Amino acid sequence: MFLVLKKRHIGIALIAIILVCVLSVGTATALTSVSAKVKRKIPIYCVESSEKVIALTFDAAWGADKTKEIVDILDKYNAKATFFLVGFWIDKYPEETKYLVEHGIEIGNHSDSHPDLTQKGKKVVEREIISVNDRIEKFTNQKVRFFRAPFGAYNNQLMEILEDLNMQGIQWDVDTLDWKGISGNEIANKVINKAKNGSIVLQHNNSDHILEALPIYLEEMTRQGYKFVTLSELVLKDNYKIDSSGKQISLG
Cβ 147 vs Cβ 162: under 8 Å: yes
Calpha distance 48→134 (Å, rounded): 31
Ramachandran class of 2: left when φ > 0, alpha when ψ lies in -120 to 50, beta otherwise: alpha
Angle between helix axes 94-102 and 122-140 (nearest 10 degrees) is 60
Calpha distance 211→214 (Å, rounded): 6
Is 59 among the catalytic positions? Answer: yes
Q: Which position among 114, 173, 178, 204 bears the catalytic label? A: 204
Calpha distance 219→224 (Å, rounded): 9
Q: Which position among 59, 112, 173, 178 bears the catalytic label? A: 59
Calpha distance 189→52 (Å, rounded): 18
Is 243 among the catalytic positions? Answer: no
Catalytic residue IDs: 59, 204
